[in-house]
Amino acid sequence: MEQQTLGTIILLGGFLLLMFLRVPIAFALGMSSLATIVYLDIPTVVLVHRMINSLNSFTFLAVPCFILAGHLMGEGGISDRLIRFADVLVGRVRGGLAQANIASSSMFGSISGSAVADVASIGSVLIKSMSQRGYRPGYSVSVTISSSIQSILIPPSQNMIYFSLAAGGISVESLFLAGYFPALLLGGSLMVLCWILAIKQGHPKGERYTIKESVKIGLDAGIGLFTVVIIVGGILLGMFTATESAAVASIYALLITVFIYRTMTLCKFVSILNMSVKTLAMVIAILMTSSAFAFLLGVLNVPSALADLILSLSGNVIIALLAINLLMLILGMLMDVGILVLLLTPILLPIAVKLGLDPIHFGMIMMVNLGIGLCTPPSGSSLLLGCAIGKVSMGTTLKEMVPFYIVMLIVLMLVTFVPSISLYLPNLSSNQL
């Protein structure tokens, strides 16, 4: 057996075996990489250098700052204000609370950058409220978890930063801009679906607010939403980079939760720092070991071999893209988004480029795919969390999820086969510079 073939078996087989034995993902990546590099007789210092070098990036500095900003805004009471503001905007239509749920996810996602944080914050309030107003619990959970995918697509999506790092430094600013139209397409499609279901199932309208109440609620929520202006506006105006915007957003989040909302206490702040450090430690461990794993995949020519295999099965680009989408959808059901972004990008991005896709466009395809995975069994974290918050079984929720899955898959196909949805804003921005 050739050395390359056996090395590939050791790397991929060892990783899958360790995962089956429930070894933590970072250790599984590191141990399989170490075993492979020993077999290939490559100096271990090369592996160490690759792991250290993966953190030697200005882009990576945005990760801890966005993690901290997300926790500050999530724990600082912003979600309650966004929910009331969304209810003011869309709550009066039929099924208005479901519409407010989707709109809240759009706004909260532009602050937290995390789908699971979205479900935890928005869901803890709205799933119960929707059930109390006559919505079926499974439907309430379905609306919450499907709309949370927007958080992966809207800046400051942490997973876009991971994609940039794994892809070798693709512009984070361009990725941030590319996510807006896919997110709006998804949110708008879910709103249309909820409106149709509301008419068919007789869902209630929301409460009516006076003009004075609406203005007050809007101003209160606007203070938190100004974080979006800081992140995106600052980048577009050239005031700072995406990494610098993360630091500014963290400071702003701390100031408004302490001095304006007055929801931040010293005890809560210490707890937030503790959560942020734990999250960051996990991210660093996975990023370092996945970098070593990706390096060995390149040494063993796995991406090139997989690309040739996919193209040999069919010379049709459409079928090849459908096969890649299917692969990501299946893997998204089994593993977390961040891990898959770091693992799959070095493998699938070269194939996508070979098929003629822009790397930024492929990044959006990956985000939508893996976002859907968060809502699917057996390991979808948003699905599991939503069911726990709503105190409803997964089986009950999955019955309600069927039309939502259909809409999400339609959006995925549109994002896949209509590149301008993802590339219009990045191209517009680059033309203006």
Best CA proximity match to 186, nearest among 329, 389, 369: 369
Task: For residue 94, list its beta bridge partners.
Answer: 205
Q: Considering the entire predicted model, what is its pTM?
A: 0.84
* C-beta separation of 110 from 69 below 8 A: no
Q: How far is CA 168 from the centre of its chain?
A: 19
Structure tokens at 341: 């972004």
Q: Which of left, alpha, beta for 205 (phi over 0: left; psi -120 to 50: alpha)? A: beta
Tens-of-pLDDT digits for all 433 residues of the chain? 578 889 889 998 998 899 888 888 889 889 999 999 999 988 888 888 888 887 877 777 778 887 887 778 777 777 778 788 888 888 778 888 889 889 988 888 777 777 887 888 788 778 888 888 888 999 999 999 999 999 899 887 888 989 998 888 788 889 989 999 999 999 999 999 999 999 998 888 777 788 888 899 888 888 887 877 777 777 777 777 777 887 888 888 888 888 888 888 889 899 989 988 888 888 888 888 888 888 888 888 887 777 777 777 666 888 889 989 998 998 888 777 888 898 889 889 988 988 889 999 999 999 999 999 999 987 788 898 899 889 899 899 999 999 999 999 999 999 999 999 999 999 987 766 5
Best CA proximity match to 375, nearest among 387, 362, 363: 387
Best CA proximity match to 92, nearest among 103, 104, 101, 100: 100
User: Domain coordinates of the chain in residue numbers?
Assistant: 3-432
* C-beta separation of 197 from 95 below 8 A: yes
* C-beta separation of 338 from 328 below 8 A: no
User: Coil, strand, or helix at residue 146?
Assistant: helix
| Residues, the chain | 433
Sequence-ordered alpha helix ranges (H) in 115-241: 115-132, 137-147, 150-153, 158-166, 172-178, 180-201, 211-228, 234-236
Q: What is the DSSP letter of 204?
A: P
Q: How far is CA 303 from the centre of its chain?
A: 24
Alpha carbon distance 341, 352 (integer Å):
14
Alpha carbon distance 165, 128 (integer Å):
39
Radius of gyration of the chain (CA): 22
